[in-house]
Structure 1
Amino acid sequence: MSVWDRIVHAYRALQTEVARAAERQRRLNEFRKVVAAAVADGVVTLDEFDALREAQRQLGLTDADVQAIRGEVIRQALQAATEDKRLSPEEERSLQQLAEYFDLPADQIPANREQLDRYRLLYQLEHEPLPVVMVPGLVLRRGETPHWSEPGELLEERVINRRYEGGSSGFSFRIAKGVRYRVGGHRGRIVTETGLVPISRGDLVLTNRRIVFRGDRRSVAAEWTKVIDVSLYLDGIKVSVTNRAKPVLIRFADSRNAEIVGVVVSRLINEA
């Protein structure tokens, strides 16, 4: 074989390989579409698993072919399942089955484990019986059950700074003989600035009957039936109670638990 023939042969072989790679990519893209439809709602049903297997067979894809895209598929399924920041048992089983389908060990699923635990807990708090927690030292009433305890601090609006703003005699000018006009004069005054300051550190306890803050310096408690308004913030909660002039303000030690406290409070108020 001449040098020219070898060059032509190598070129044709390269063309064939490029064409095969392009065809494989096309078939993988078609399979991606089937996968996307299956995981769109966060749960893959048995029928959808059958559809995945049939699509793989019709497209002539090997297990090695589909395993090449398993990482992106699992991430896509995980995103769909936790879009609402909740992880139900059904969604979790579906993710495990999808990982098995793609031969991906469960401990290698690309996910933030702490975040998944939080999403799982939020789902359980909304749909399952509330947990019962131990609160040593808390005197419970008959039929009272504590369901959550969260470290935090009781806040109160207080004066945090005072300053004096001096007066001014202003200035005057003559407008006629024996008559002067004075402008700009004012007396000095004390200006106060207020802010929220921690007055007691302790634990926010949520029971089926009351919201309780047990602090090292001050404690407050109110029955859910007397709560008239609740505002949840990124790092705390404000509770307004009948016959109480000022609302109860509590800042959480861990701001990441604000949503968890909000879910528990919502359940307890609605069930009170």
Structure 2
Amino acid sequence: MKPTVSTMATVFEMRPLEPQSFMQRLLNQHPIENAVIELNNVLASSAICSIPISEIDRIERKYGLSLTKQFGLNLEEFYAVYLNYALDDSSLSEEELADLTHLRILLQLPNQTIELLHARVGAGIYQQCFEEVIQDGVISSEERYFLSQLEQTLSLPSDLANKISEEVRSNYFARLAEEYSADARITPEEERQLQQISKNLGIKPDQATKRTLDRYKLYWVLENADLPIIEISLPLQKQEHCHWHSEDVQWFEERATARRTSYDDHYVQDKVFEEVDLQANSPAHQTKFGLLKRIDTGQLFLTNKRIIFVGRLKTTSIKLNTIGRVTAFKQGIEIGKLTGKNPLLLLKGNADVAAVVCRRLIRNA
């Protein structure tokens, strides 16, 4: 609660005047900056509504200047300081409204400047109140009325209020979505809550956020729901089912040394790939391979028993129980075998999904 005192000492602080220089004393002149200091001290020592216009005239005559012309920014600051003080409780009493009206006349501030100051000061207050209102993800009818009244109290332009509302609601949803997807998974319950909050706040996630959330929902489904069974023409073992298929897959292996004989050798020195952390919502980091050779190109099949690669040169299968890890990259997956070379399989797309499916199959096996 604001103190009820007869002066504005709680808003403006008394300041000492600048001393006259030797020449100013001889010529009976005053430091020009003392004009603003005197006005500050008048505001600090008197109730706003009790300050007469003649006080401004007295200061201007004493210093032989126009406060409006020479100290316009200082006058705007005086008004902004009191406006910010008056709005500390997000409301304006009749006394404060009267003070602001008198202060505007006293400082000779044009309407355009007043509107600008209200927008500048009020925007921060309106944003702060809006952020407090939506902390529970819901804006009740009472809260909507409060925000509407606050917009009027602050004399906030409607387009600015709408912009603040849009930004605050969007930022709140984005933070919540990031919090829910911290483990790179969105459960059905989290999806329901996000949909409800999106509806309550009247916003829709942008396309980038929607794609990310859809991806994390898919991860959860692939790890917890029944995997789809794909019918393929490839002969499979008894009780073996295919759950993933991709074409145009390139099989690479890392080589310690190699002799380059022609441009068709397919050896790549210091190839860098972007690794994806499938356990957390975190940026990818880069992993460098020393020397890679493309072995073959073909189709990739993930079954509940094997990884099968049908290449142009030959067909290769890797039993799931011989795999120690699967590393996901944006460009493909690396199969970390318990023994032997670790193939790097580059895919046209959905490498992260392939890695999630492969890890689940290995875990189940």
Q: Using structure 1 for the length normalisation, give the TM-score.
A: 0.62
Unmatched tracts of structure 2, length 5 or more: 1-103, 152-157, 262-289
Q: Decide which of 31, 55, 63 is 2:130's aligned counterpart.
A: 31
Q: By percentage of residues, which structure has more strand?
A: 1
Q: Is the 8 A contact 1:86 1:123 kept in 2?
A: yes
Q: Decide which of 142, 148, 160 is 2:244's aligned counterpart.
A: 148
Distance 1:195 1:201, change over 3 A: same
Residue identity in the other structure for 2:307? I
Residue identity in the other structure for 1:230? R
Q: Decide which of 232, 237, 241 is 2:327's aligned counterpart.
A: 232
Q: Is the 8 A contact 2:300 2:307 kept in 1?
A: yes
Q: Is the 8 A contact 1:208 1:268 kept in 2?
A: yes
CA RMSD of aligned residues (A): 3.6
Q: Decide which of 160, 177, 186 is 1:87's aligned counterpart.
A: 186
Q: For 2:363, what is the secondary structure of its paired residue?
A: helix
Q: Decide which of 134, 138, 152 is 1:49's aligned counterpart.
A: 138
CA displacement at 1:23 relative to structure 2? 4.2
Residue identity in the other structure for 2:340? K
- Identify the residue that residue 250 of structure 1 maps to in structure 2: 344
Distance 1:92 1:162, change over 3 A: closer
CA displacement at 1:115 relative to structure 2? 3.5
Q: Decide which of 341, 349, 356 is 1:263's aligned counterpart.
A: 356
Distance in 2 of aligned mates of 1:49 and 1:102: 7
Q: Using structure 2 for the length normalisation, give the TM-score.
A: 0.48
Distance in 2 of aligned mates of 1:66 and 1:205: 52
Q: Which structure would you say has the larger Rg?
A: 2
Distance 1:212 1:20, change over 3 A: same
Unmatched tracts of structure 1, length 5 or more: 1-6, 39-47, 164-193
Q: How many percent of aligned residue pairs carry the same amino acid?
A: 26
Distance in 2 of aligned mates of 1:8 and 1:53: 37
Distance in 2 of aligned mates of 1:18 and 1:88: 46
The alignment status of 1:130 with 2:227, answered yes or no, reads: yes
Deviations 1:20-55 (A, max 9, x none): 5434641331221343x44xxxxxxxxx526x5554
Q: By percentage of residues, which structure has more helix?
A: 2
CA displacement at 1:232 relative to structure 2? 1.0
Q: How many residues align?
A: 215
Q: Is the 8 A contact 1:154 1:200 kept in 2?
A: yes
